[in-house]
Amino acid sequence: MTETHQRGDLGPDQFEGKERDRKPVVLFLCTHNAGRSQMALGFFRHLAGEQAIGWSGGSEPAGRVNPSAVAAMREVAIDISGEYPKPRTDQVVRAADVVVTMGCGDACPVLPGKRHEEWTLDDPAGRDLAAVRPIRDEIERRVRGLLDELNVPARA
């Protein structure tokens, strides 16, 4: 059993050869999977609830989630403190319906037949809480827009 499954996250192997109840699967990728993609995943899971599936990963995972990102999300009552940076795998990318990349450049794959979006956002690495708040707020705006495009009603 992988660490992902021990922590209770859904993994792509759970969908091999199975129907996913038509829930959209969105993968958020950034270089270190420690800031932007973790905040996006936090918003996505909070707003989508059980109506969609969200994952995150990085091309060069950091050792831990950025503490300023954790604090910024805590301010909006979303706890990402239990998350950890995960590597991006081709299997995860293939299993996703939508792949959202945030600054990982050529390290993030683009596969034919997948919906890809590049969100150009400042990297919160090395920034204090005050500097991370506007990044967090822009990520929330974009996640809400994505959910709307996917016809997934955002929870209040």
Q: 72 and 129 in contact (C-beta within 8 Å)?
A: yes
CA distance 67 to 85: 12
pLDDT digits (tens, 9 = 90+) for 99-140: 999 987 666 666 666 799 999 999 999 999 999 999 999 999
Q: Which of 47, 41, 88, 71 is nearest to 133 (CA)?
A: 71
pLDDT digits (tens, 9 = 90+) for 30-84: 999 999 999 999 999 999 999 999 999 998 999 999 999 999 999 999 999 999 9
- Structure tokens that stand for 23 in this block: 């829930």
Domains of the chain with CATH codes: 22-149 (3.40.50.2300)
Q: Which residues are catalytic?
A: 30, 104, 108
Instruction: Point out which residues pair with 101 in neighbouring strands.
Output: 29, 118
